Amino acid sequence: MQFDMPSLIPVLPEVFILTMACVVLVVDLFLEQEQRIISYGLTQISLLLAAMLTLLTATGEVQIVFDGSVIRDPMSDVLKVAVCLISAGAFLYAKDYLKNRSLFKGEFYVLGLFAVLGMMVMISANSFLTVYLGLELLALCLYALVAFDNKSGLGSEAAMKYFVLGALASGLLLYGISMIYGATGSIEFQAVAEALTKTGMNDTVLVFGLVFVVIGLAFKFGAVPFHMWVPDVYHGAPTAVVLFLGSTPKIAAFALAMRLLVDGLGDLHADWQGMLAILAVLSMGVGNVIAIAQTNIKRMLAYSTISHVGFILMGILAGTSKGYTAAMFYSIVYAMMAVGAFGIIVLLSRKGFEAEELSDYKGLNDRSPWFAAMMLLLMFSMAGVPPTVGFFAKMFVLDAVVSVNMVWLAIVGVAFSIIGAYYYLRIIKLMYFDKPEDEAPLEAGVDTRIALTVNGLAMLVLGMFPGGLLSICAAAIG
């Protein structure tokens, strides 16, 4: 294995994030509480520079380094830039929330940077071992972040559930990987794909291994029936953590599915397509129907996440470039929608008050017409109402599914989308047609207000001009 400069340049963004995470950890030791803004500033600079480094070192070609363990390709470049920028937005929204609750600590940002590093490793993984390392680095950071508020019993309970179920899912994934290794003799995706081509696909061990890999993957996505951790974790974790947890990890989960199923197990497409179809239908059904019964907006958005995961899986199971492009487009757009929606929850929260109940959104238009409009754009986008970008994200996925003659699945997707529109429109009704129960002014910094404005307007702008992002995704998928 050569640790020379040509081998290190493709992984320069990861090396940079790792270095800066260590720098923030050390610098934070010497800071007083009122100087913690330095840790925050270093984190934001790190994420923006990592995105720039990714773009500057991108060659547009596929590079495989470290004895086949790491791959650098256009898809990984686009996903890494998206992860860095959306994570920066999540940390920006979280700043005031953490300050008001005495949680503004350097550890939050260190764990956040290591979680971003885990996602970047997953995105560039070219072997089962690298995938697992990235996955566990991300998971361990998220477990700690969910329990970040040590005074919250709900948070501790959510973290424990997440940890136990996450460990179970990791074990199942490892078991599946071991079976695939036993059947093919390799853990590198290209070598596995070649072995599948040579030996055929009738090996029972391979199919069992695939089942366990898909179960592990479904847990990381939060797909039904492996979704039981999602509502509890979203509800129990501090909103500042859910901002991060509910957005960028979905991009990493998409990359995980692409690397495992498409790059490594593409020849087993006929087998995993059926499994993903079942997961997609169940996720859209359970997510949209149960979300209607929720009165807590964080739990409602948790079930909403589960339904959106169904659409991402629909794009992947199509098994075509069009489907992969649509799923990638949907993943990035969903991360932007989720971080914006939780950003509005943070905006309405203040010291001693969490804006978690749907009734807290009554009369928001009377209190702040502008941010009610931003929430309206985000909810319309999640519901798939034109001309917002969420409509085109759903349309591209449905088009990809129809193009492979799975019209029945597209009809199911449309039906559940219509059901799901109800709970998004309910929030809009509360904001515009009900009288406010709380007249307190919104407390947020200028930076948060500007970022939320950009986030909300992006739903409309990207919806009116979706071709730019779609062409980037199409070029990345190739």
Strand partners of residue 353: 350
Residue 94 has pLDDT above 80, yes or no: yes
Residue 306 has pLDDT above 60, yes or no: yes
Residue 49 in any domain: the answer is yes
Q: Domain of 400? A: 8-477
CA distance 261 to 258: 6
**Can you state the angle between helices 407-433 and 389-403, rounded to 10 degrees?**
170
Q: Which phi and psi (to 5°) does residue 127 adopt?
A: -150, 160
Burial zone of 5 (CB within 10 Å; 0-12 exposed, 13-18 middle, 19+ buried):
exposed
Residue 2 has pLDDT above 70, yes or no: no
Close Cβ partners of 395 (under 8 Å, ≥ 6 residues apart): none
Residue 3 in any domain: the answer is no
Residue 285 in any domain: the answer is yes
CA distances to 336, 392, 431 from 329, in Å = 11, 9, 29
Residue 201 has pLDDT above 60, yes or no: no
Residue 110 in any domain: the answer is yes
Section 411-416 average pLDDT: 92
pLDDT one-digit tens code per residue, 15-29: 999 999 999 999 988
Residue 5 has pLDDT above 80, yes or no: no
Section 416-443 average pLDDT: 86
Structure confidence at residue 80 (pLDDT): 93
CA distances to 92, 106, 181, 286, 350 from 40, in Å = 9, 7, 42, 38, 20
Sign of CA dihedral 443, 444, 445, 449: negative
pLDDT band of residue 137 (cuts 50, 70, 90) is very high
Split into its structural domains, the chain has a count of: 1
pLDDT one-digit tens code per residue, 255-265: 999 988 888 88
Section 428-453 average pLDDT: 84
pLDDT one-digit tens code per residue, 205-219: 888 888 999 998 898
pLDDT band of residue 412 (cuts 50, 70, 90) is very high
Structure confidence at residue 382 (pLDDT): 92
SS3 category, 353:
strand
Residue 2 in any domain: the answer is no
Tell me the whole-structure pTM to 2 decimals. Answer: 0.93
Return the H-helix or E-strand segment holding 407: helix 407-433
Structure confidence at residue 202 (pLDDT): 59
Helices vs strands, H then E, count in the chain: 21, 2
Tokens of 422: 């109800």
